[in-house]
Chain A
Amino acid sequence: MLYDLSLHMGYTYDVPASGARHVIRLLPLSLPDRQRLIAGSVTVSPATDEKVTFIDFFGQQATSVLVRAPHDRLDIRMQARVMVEAPTMQADLSPTLDVLRKELAEVWSVDPSSPHHFTGSSPRLPEEPAIAAYARQAVKPGQTVREIAAALCTRIHKDFKYDPEATTVDTTPKEAFKLKRGVCQDFSHVMIVALRSLGIPAGYVSGFLRTIPPPGKERLEGADAMHAWVRIWCGDALGYVELDPTNDIPAGSDHIVVGYGRDYSDVAPVIGVLKGYGNQKADQAVDVIPVK
């Protein structure tokens, strides 16, 4: 699939902000045999006083910008054309949990692709006994890691209600788990905590999802949003598998990857520090348009 992506994030400040420094992570990745960034740009208004791009630890392109003068509105725009290959079906080559543990111990690497980054806890994801207990219930003896992950994905999709009003970007997995509600970020965080509690390395994927309008309806412009799903290390042979608990599907050619991390904090699309005292309001519009 070939996509044209556009995203617009706007921030309005009650009291003008100044000396605003932001790190922006919005451009899709290029991934061999899976996804190719053909063209892409990130623009910021008002005009930036400084703009530096760098590649972060997990390989994502980040743009660091500074807007020095006072401003009451900040607009960030991303446009990109991306080619996404249709995934090929893979046989389940993943081992059982005990074997996974042994295979993990044999990975002597802390390269960005090493599964060791995705075990234990991470800045946003401490261990949660309640989620660990929930995870244990989903496991049946003799299941492969891939089967366990798929079962958890289905289970979370079934037990949780999609509800954008219930949570915010700062909601912890513990709270979301108690509510059994939330958005893609909450679904993914809960699933990651659950998988890690079983000893399965799991990370966070930020990206875009092409939404398909209901039959007979027009696609609404700007109605899409950024999306998140889960990346699971399923052992030596199978490697990483991506599952989307919000929709209970494997990530496929409708999923466009922007970044990989341990949790949301590694891939937050915009991290900002500014001098300002008043409140701020944010708005967002995303379009994922299939070209062909």
Chain B
Amino acid sequence: MDEEIEHDPILGYAALPGVADEMLDARGEIKPVWQNLIAHLSRLSEGDLYERFARADRYLRDAGVFYRTYGGTGPGGTGERNWPLSHIPVLIQQDEWQNISRGLQQRADLLEAMIADIYGENRLVQEGFVPPQLIAANPEFLRPLVGVKPVGGHYLHFCSFEIGRGPDGNWWVLADRTQAPSGAGFALENRVATTRAFSDIYGETHVHRLASFFGAFRDALQSRKQYPDDRIAVLSPGPANETYFEHAYIARYLGFMLLEGEDLTVVNNRVMVRTVAGLKPVGVLWRRLDASYADPLELDQNSHIGTPGMVQALRSGSLTLVNALGSGILETRALLAFAPTICRRLLGEDPILPSIATWWCGQQSEREHVAKNIERMVIGPAYSRLPFFDDNSQSVLGSSLRETAKDTVGDWLASEGAKLVGQEVVTLSTTPTWVDGKLTPRPMSLRVFAARTENGWEIMPGGFARIGTGDDVAAIAMQSGGAAADVWIVSDKPVSKSTLLPPEESFTRNMPGSLPSRAADNLYWLGRYIERAEGALRILRSWHLRYAESADPNAPLLADVTRYLKSIDMDMVKAVPEPLLANINSAIYSASNIRDRFSPDGWLALTDLAKTAKRFHEAAQPGDDAAHAATILLRKLAGFAGLVHENMYRFTGWRFLSIGRHLERGLHMTRMLAHLSGPDAPDGSLDMLLEIGDSVMTHRRRYNVNTARLTVNDLLALDPLNPRSILFQLNEIRTEVEKLPNAFENGQMSPFYREAMRLHSGLAVMTPETMNEDVYRRLEKDLENLSDLLVRTYCS
């Protein structure tokens, strides 16, 4: 009994002086909305609690939820880190949330009115509400979009807001996000993970579900299509982006395509996606890349991730962008200073939710106010689009300045004022988080999402809470490195339990849409790299097994195979060589470009393979040790192949992966036979070929003779039943190619299909005696040409 009390998580929890707390009211009592959760937590032993936390973490890890960080070690200098979930949700009572929602709906309307004015009539400047510099000198003022009215009339369709609660208990808007708001997908994942930990509590608490919000937004985007065959897609800057996981997740969740700039092309003023079945029109793009990168022709000319002609398509009114190009200007920090008066001018109302007090130092009286109150100010760049708490490197906290520096603030503001804003330091509320075995108050802010639907702005009932790492409640302390928590909006009454899954009676079987060419390309190369790694490993294993016996790398057979390995760029500096790792990394890179089509299990299998290979590369010694390492790696490869084979939906994407594997396997075998099956090949070559081709047993059973050139040719090149033979690969390729889009054009075979047929039948009629090095070399060329033809036909 005593022990349980000791673990009661609420003991010792108290609000910080002068700071509002989410769980405790002003008298220090637990707010009613929290009572059930806290009662449950009190009943759990510490072990139970950690077991529940672990369940949530396991879900996130298994789902492959990650957050990309710049400056890491992965491809392109980036790394992935696990999503930092703070397990205790933040609970907010529904009535309070309704007030917040009304405030944010009004704010979204205000932002829409502002952006329409900035890219339209510009009355706000003419009437003196917004200083002209803040528009004209703003890098997010995209002149090519001035006067371009969005189809349907709206610039904004999806926004997010950062809000925080001040010491008086009222909520403040800290920042508006309109360029490419991120986090909605993470909010969903937080919810799923948190309910893994607290399914029982969640079940008996009336928590508003998130699905209906996404459903309404999906329907709204559907209704934006102008033509029935228009596609809807999420436009991502690509896997190097920090929130790429979320782009893939949202696309998969809502059933939209996930595209990058190079997937798109503009034809007669319409944006089209390149697919393996040809160009298909795109009517709505949910844009997750910054506007200036969207079109190298009319926006940033240095962009490599854009679509030339997109602005032209927008001018002609054939595309809805979520949000319109140029909306990023609304995030400008200095504009916050003018939001309250603009709200009165454009909407004729006072703001329901105040925004953080901001002064643009380009005006004299504002400048003087900031200088006089420097202790309570944070000063930062006027045109920055980052909220000040995400921008510590460029923002200066007035109270942190030395006394001598404070005297010169006036001069600084006078000379640089137009480039600076002062913002009043906000004190945030705290919320309970689990630190060192007990609940501890930590500062938090909320990110909340708004989607435009048929019925106006809908606010997500929830969002995610950003939790600070220390107990500094100044908003500026909310920097990277903190955690995220789920937000539960709790009703007194049962809530509707909607899901995005369609009701059973409306069941239809949707065939997957057209595969984008870039995805096909990545799947094809993933197949090839995986098979290439396997081929190399098989040779390396045989080499090391023989080396273990003779310990002489210059023995004729070993020297000959080393030469062969060199000819396929596989050096032997290390027992498990560097080029093999590069190969596996290429496979991972290809896979990373198609995360939306890739199961988390497959991804785990691949990254695990890379990790193991790296370890062996560093440690394995030539001989038995390396042969053993190769066996383990081959087993892991087989595991990955099994996942693909057993679990991947057999549609176009799978076909490209499969063709890649068979083509590479055919090439591998062809090259090996060309090198090792000739009359001059060293002793033992034929046995080694059989071993590499995994066909020793079959050979023994089928031919009942010693290994000979003819039987090896027969089994490894021409046997249609041996899954390692060249003919087998060509047969598989032909079968898959037949099912690809456009295999027949106007009743005739496409050039690619014809070539696949020709290679297959050409080899099928050969006999073992006619197979020699020349024939193999010719076949090698043919296979390489077939690959080029495939890439040209489907992947560009």
* Chain A residues within CB distance 8 Å of chain B: 19, 21-23, 50, 52, 54, 56-58, 64, 66, 107-111, 114, 116-117, 119-121, 123, 265-266, 271-273
Contact = CB atoms under 8 A, between A and B. Distances in A.
B132 A64 contact: no
11 contacts: A23-B297, A64-B297, A64-B312, A108-B128, A110-B122, A110-B135, A111-B122, A116-B133, A119-B136, A265-B301, A271-B301
A109 B269 contact: no
B684 to A, nearest CB: 44
B72 interface: no
B144 A117 contact: no
A57 B144 contact: yes
Contacts of B136: 110, 114, 116-117, 119
When A and B form their complex, which 8 residue pairs have the shortest distance between CB atoms, in order from nearest? Answer: A116-B136, A57-B143, A273-B308, A120-B137, A116-B132, A21-B308, A110-B135, A117-B136
A271 B295 CA distance: 12
A119 B141 CA distance: 14
Interface string B522-537: 0000000000000000
A61 to B, nearest CB: 14
B125 A110 contact: yes
B132 A109 contact: yes
Contacts of A271: 297, 301
A110 B312 contact: no
A52 B133 contact: no
Given A21-B309, A23-B297, A56-B144, A119 B126 contact: no
B265 interface: yes
Main secondary structure of the interface of A (DSSP, over half): mixed
Nearest to A20: B308
B301 A54 contact: no
Nearest to A265: B301
B435 to A, nearest CB: 45
B296 interface: yes
A271 B302 CA distance: 11
Given A23-B297, A50-B267, 5 more contacts: A19-B265, A21-B309, A107-B132, A120-B137, A271-B301
Contacts of B496: none
Contacts of A108: 125-128, 132
Contact of A50 (B135, B268, B297): B268
Contacts of A114: 132, 136
B137 A57 contact: no
A272 B296 CA distance: 9
B60 to A, nearest CB: 40
Nearest to B296: A273
B709 interface: no
A109 B126 contact: yes
Contacts of A109: 122, 125-126, 132
Contacts of B80: none
A204 to B, nearest CB: 14
Contacts of A116: 132-133, 135-137
Interface string B128-166: 100011011100010110100000000000000000000
Interface string B198-221: 000000000000000000000000
A273 to B, nearest CB: 4
Contacts of A265: 301
A64 B146 contact: no
Contact of B297 (A110, A120, A273): A273
A133 to B, nearest CB: 15
A108 B133 CA distance: 9
A21 B132 contact: no
A243 B128 CA distance: 32
B298 interface: yes
Nearest to A52: B312
Interface in B293-324: 296-298, 300-301, 308-309, 312, 315
A193 to B, nearest CB: 15
Given A52-B312, A108-B128, A109-B126, A119 B137 contact: yes
B315 A54 contact: yes
Contacts of A58: 143
A213 to B, nearest CB: 36
A19 B309 CA distance: 11
Contacts of A64: 297, 309, 312
Most-contacted residue by chain A among B141, B268, B308, B315 (CB, 10 A): B308
